[in-house]
Amino acid sequence: MRPAFDPTLYLVTDTALSAPRSVPDVVRAAVAGGVTAVQVRDKTASRRELYQLTLAVRAVLDPGVALFVNDAVDVALLAGADGVHVGQDDLPPAEVRALIGPDRLLGLSTGDDDELAVALALPPGTVDVVGIGPVWTTPTKPDAGTGLGPGGVAALAAEAAAGGLRSVAIGGISAERAALVTGVDGICVVSAVCAAPDPAAAARALRGAR
Please name the residues in contact with 72: beta carbons below 8 A apart, sequence gap of 6 or more: 47, 50, 84
Of these residues, 58, 109, 167, 204, which one is catalytic?
109
Annotation says 207 is catalytic: no
- The answer to whether 71 is a known ligand-binding residue is yes
Q: Which residues of 61-85 are buried (b: 16+ CB within 10 A; e: fewer)?
A: beeebbbbbbbbbebbeebebbbbb
Q: Is 142 annotated as a binding residue?
A: no
- Residue 28 is labelled as binding a ligand: no
Exactly one of 41, 58, 97, 104 is catalytic; which is it?
Answer: 41
- Residues found in the chain: 210
46 appears as a binding residue in the annotation: no
Q: What is the spatial distance between Cα 17 and Cα 54, in angstroms, rounded to a whole number?
A: 17
39 is in an annotated binding site: yes
Phi/psi at 182 (5° precision): -130, 165
To the query of whether residue 41 is one of the catalytic residues in this protein, the response is yes
Q: Is 140 within any annotated ligand binding site?
A: yes
Catalytic, out of 28, 141, 167, 204: 141
Tell me: is residue 70 an annotated ligand-binding position.
Answer: yes
Active site annotation includes 167? no
Residues with active-site annotation:
41, 109, 141
Annotated binding site for Mg(2+): 71, 90
Annotated binding site: 39-43, 70-71, 90, 109, 138-141, 172, 190-191
